[in-house]
């Protein structure tokens, strides 16, 4: 089997520096810049309370921190989606692991290349997560709802071509209470220059997302 040079776009993805840049989000924007809002109306003041005394209501946070991201996808799922990859995955360094954690798996087996990312983001409240979720799916139009996962789920698949090499990428975004789960799954065939079918990428991304949400809801930490 002869070695084929990777297309520039995929070669760049294998660079740790570029991976970090692609996996990171600016802390000055996104859900973490939002101001927490109360989920419940404050209870009426009792006669003993001063009319001028401030009333505070704590925001309920189902998730205080992200789970261990590399435990978010089962070994069986990793083997089926990213043949040849180490099931342990590789966690991408984060500026704040209490807010965001990401794990990646990638492998080139023969001429087939696959890449899988799973990210968890914790927002201040359900309302903040819902607002960010809507913003994310609005930015990735052309997809559809994913039923039966979290409070709401969305998936979209896109095809890109560079140097005559196709790459098909699927993204699944899920909101579960005050957390967001983002899964990215893509693939290419360097022999045929074609990308996997849309159905293969979409179903693979959704499968990984269901694993990741289950890990979140089951409280996997690490």
What predicted TM-score, i.e. pTM, was given to this entire model? 0.73
pLDDT at 26: 37
pLDDT at 30: 40
Nearest to 122 by CA among 174, 180, 176: 180
Q: Which domains does the chain have, with CATH numbers?
A: 61-217 (3.40.1000)
pLDDT at 59: 53
- Dihedral sign for Cα 210, 216, 217, 222, please: positive
Distance CA 154, CA 101 (A): 20
- pLDDT, one tens digit per residue, over 192-206 is 999 999 999 999 999
Nearest to 113 by CA among 4, 29, 2, 21: 4
Averaged over successive runs of 10 residues, the pLDDT of the chain (222 residues) comes to 46 41 37 36 40 43 92 97 96 94 97 97 97 95 94 97 96 98 97 96 98 90 50
Give the other-Cβ count within 10 Å of 33's Cβ.
12
Backbone angles phi, psi at 153, to 5 degrees: -140, 155
pLDDT at 170: 98
pLDDT at 94: 92
């Amino acid at each position: 089997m002869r070695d084929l040079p990777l297309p520039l776009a995929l070669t760049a993805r294998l660079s740790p520096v570029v991976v970090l840049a692609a996996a990171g989000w600016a802390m000055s924007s996104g859900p973490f810049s939002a101001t927490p809002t109360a989920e419940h109306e404050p209870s009426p003041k009792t006669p003993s309370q001063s009319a001028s005394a401030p009333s505070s209501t704590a925001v309920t946070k189902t998730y205080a921190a992200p789970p261990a991201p590399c435990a978010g996808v089962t070994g069986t799922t990793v083997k089926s989606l990213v043949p040849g990859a180490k099931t342990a995955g590789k966690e991408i360094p984060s500026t704040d692991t209490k807010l965001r954690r990401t794990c990646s798996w990638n492998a080139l087996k023969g001429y087939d290349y696959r890449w899988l990312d799973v990210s968890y983001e914790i927002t201040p409240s359900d309302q903040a997560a819902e607002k960010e979720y809507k913003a994310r799916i609005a930015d990735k139009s052309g997809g559809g709802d994913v039923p039966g996962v979290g409070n709401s789920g969305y998936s979209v698949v896109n095809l890109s071509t560079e140097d005559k090499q196709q790459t098909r990428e699927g993204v699944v975004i899920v909101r579960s209470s005050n957390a967001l789960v983002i899964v990215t799954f893509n693939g290419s065939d360097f022999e045929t220059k074609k990308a996997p079918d849309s159905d293969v990428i979409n179903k693979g991304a959704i499968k990984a997302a269901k694993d990741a949400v289950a890990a979140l809801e089951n409280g996997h930490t690490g």
